[in-house]
Amino acid sequence: MIVKHSSRNRGFTLIEIVTSLSIMSVLMIGLSGAILVGSYAIPTPADTGYADKVVIDTITQFRNDLREATTIRYRSGASGDSIQLTIKDTGAAGTPTTITYVYKTSSNDFSRKVDALPEQIILTDINAFSITLTTDSGDIRVLQLLLGVETTIERYFEMHALLPDKPGSL
């Protein structure tokens, strides 16, 4: 039996395989980099809600101040709304703290001022602001706050605070 060996083999050489794998690895690295950059363009729930978190934190701080308040004074005018809260001091001095929240219609911002400290703007870009008070014999029983903020995902935020035994004036 005579076996003929062809001088022409039909396989790839080692150099051809190594070269093709090198080219494919460079292309894969470039493609994975493009996918990674593209994934940063898609916002995640954790970072899309930063502006929303600022609004929620502000509303929570406002609600906590309302709960601690011994008296509430609310004024509404053409320039905006003002809520002045008197909070009993728990320290040795015994002097009450006055916290004033102000919404200014001219600049569409919401600020907080504590006693003689400078006023701090805590929210900007407000396009809707509404406070509704429910009173009973001069006492404020329910305060409802509605905020619309342009730069947030949720756009509108609502807060209801039940305030039993909070003397107030309108």
Report pTM. 0.67
Count how many domains the chain has: 1
Residue 30 lies in a domain: no
Residue 68 lies in a domain: yes
Q: What is the pLDDT of residue 71?
A: 85
Q: Residue 128 in contact with residue 154, Cβ under 8 Å?
A: no
Q: What is the pLDDT of residue 97?
A: 87
- Residues 6 or more apart whose CB falls under 8 angstroms from that of 145 comprise 59, 62, 130, 131, 158, 159, 161
Place of tokens 């003929």: 4
Residue 36 lies in a domain: no
Residue 11 lies in a domain: no
**Within the chain, which residues score under 50 in pLDDT?**
none
SS3 51: helix
- Centre a 10 Å sphere on the Cβ of residue 129 and count the other Cβ atoms it contains: 19
- In tens, the pLDDT along 121-145 reads 998 889 988 888 888 877 788 889 9
Residue 160 lies in a domain: yes
Q: What is the mean pLDDT of the chain?
A: 84
Q: What is the pLDDT of residue 95?
A: 80
- In tens, the pLDDT along 96-122 reads 889 999 999 889 899 999 988 899 999
Residue 31 lies in a domain: no
